[in-house]
Amino acid sequence: MTSRARGSTRSPYTPKVSVRTSRRRAVATTRSPASRAAVTSARPRPREQIFLDLTAEGWREWSAALRGRLTACERAAPAAVADAFAVTLSARPLFCDLLAQAPLNLERNVSLEAVRAFKLGTLEEVARIGAELDRLLGLSEEQAVDTVATATSMAGALWQVATPRAALRELYASEPRLGHAVVEVEPRLRRVLTALLAGTNDDSGTRTT
């Protein structure tokens, strides 16, 4: 699933409220507190909440897969760690798409409690990944958080660039000067993270390859 609409400019992640829905909400606000609570409990989850739940599930699944690859690393090599990040992220296109959409659309259209639960769950996965980065490269908590934040934000952004609509892809392919716009997520993410981790490793003065 990507955020590019087919034949439309509307993102599937942005809220869509019909006139009929707006009228129902207006009627609901005139009822008693008990009636409003009953309406709220019976109301289906908004699609932004569904997508945010999928993002949370994606974090758990990706974190487990990444940690599995990191556990298998025999050497504390920044390049090997960067490769594990790049491979596991690029293999999950829906997750990459949702990583970009979560702060842009999803978190802005759900309850504060939903955002709180999502953020705390994400922090738990970041801490688990950070433990592996500490074991392999001796990264501090702050350095590990920066690494995960860079990897996930870059993956989300690069995926948007790498999946343009068909007309744009044809334009980029037909114009040599726009060739840089054709992005492959995995190799670019690997290069960026290798440079980041090599520099971080040198600055920390800890384990080296």
pLDDT digits (tens, 9 = 90+) for 85-127: 999 999 999 999 999 999 999 999 999 999 999 999 999 999 9
pLDDT of residue 8: 44
Low-confidence ranges of the chain (pLDDT < 50): 1-9, 17-42, 208-209
pLDDT of residue 45: 75
pLDDT of residue 43: 63
pTM summary value: 0.76
- Inter-CA distances, 202 with 70, 83, 152, 198, Å: 20, 18, 22, 6
Q: Helical H runs in the chain?
A: 19-28, 33-42, 47-71, 78-90, 93-101, 112-137, 141-162, 166-174, 185-204
pLDDT of residue 112: 97
- Inter-CA distances, 133 with 76, 138, 165, Å: 9, 7, 37
pLDDT of residue 109: 95
- Inter-CA distances, 201 with 3, 31, 124, 179, 204, Å: 36, 61, 24, 33, 5
| Pairwise CA distance, residues 125 & 156, whole Å | 17
